[in-house]
Amino acid sequence: MINKISEIIKVGIADMNIVKPPNMIRTSGLGSCVGVVLYDEVSHIAGMVHVMLPDSNLAKADIKNKAKFADTGIQALIAELAKQGVRPGRLKAKIAGGAQMFQFKSGSDLMKIGPRNVAAVKEQLQQAHIPILSEDTGGSSGRTIEFDPMTFLLHIRTVNKGEQKI
């Protein structure tokens, strides 16, 4: 259960943040979006980014919010963790989200974005040589996730399929 003494750092949609124990970090209502947690087991410093779209090339206007896209979001989170003294080579990842909530037969490819987000996140992590220790991706359910930088456990809650820790 959630430790009442600690604070929960919230990460909004297309947003990112950093956490240290005893605090937790959380993002809620992930649908097709992907929550990416990067953490360092030595310093117990972690960060989370709530990715909305797979690639910054999808931007049709000048968008300064790096956290929105898998490519720029993960790079920005690595850079932010580096500012906290975390070497990229020590980072590990846990990811969740990327559901396919709707089937919308017509319409743009954007409606099938969940699996594309997951693939883009994985590609980005691979390029950065960051191993994915566990994941809960795909499916058709929304997720709320909370990471504890003390235990490195990612708590996942869904409406339809209960709770788990990975």
Partner 1 sequence: MNYIDRIQPIHLDILKEAGNIGAGHAATSLSTLLNRKIDMKVPNVRIVPFAEMMELTGGSEKEVVSVGLRIEGEAGGNMFFMLAVEEANRFIQKLMGDESFTFRDHNTHTMGFSAMQEMGNILSGSYLSALGDFTQLKLQPSVPELAVDMFGAIISYGLLEISQYSDYTIVIDTILTETDEGDVETVKGHFFLLLSPDSFPILFEALGAGYDK
The residues that are catalytic are 33
Using CB under 8 A, pick the residue from 129, 160, 162, 163 that binds partner 1.
Answer: 160
Residue list 22-51, contact with partner 1 (CB under 8 A): 28-33
The residue range among 37-45, 58-66, 75-83, 121-129 that interacts with partner 1, by the rule CB under 8 A, is: 58-66
1 forms part of the interface with partner 1 (CB under 8 A): no
Query: Side chain identity at 164, as an amino acid letter?
Result: Q
149 forms part of the interface with partner 1 (CB under 8 A): no
Distances (CA, A) of 49 to 84, 108, 133, 158: 16, 25, 17, 19
Using CB under 8 A, pick the residue from 5, 42, 106, 129 that binds partner 1.
Answer: 106
**Does residue 149 contact residue 108 with C-beta atoms inside 8 Å?**
no
The answer for 137, left when phi > 0, alpha when psi is -120 to 50, beta otherwise, is beta
58 forms part of the interface with partner 1 (CB under 8 A): yes
- Applying CB under 8 A, which residues contact partner 1? 12-15, 28-33, 52-53, 58-63, 65, 68, 99, 101-108, 110-111, 113, 141-144, 157, 159-160
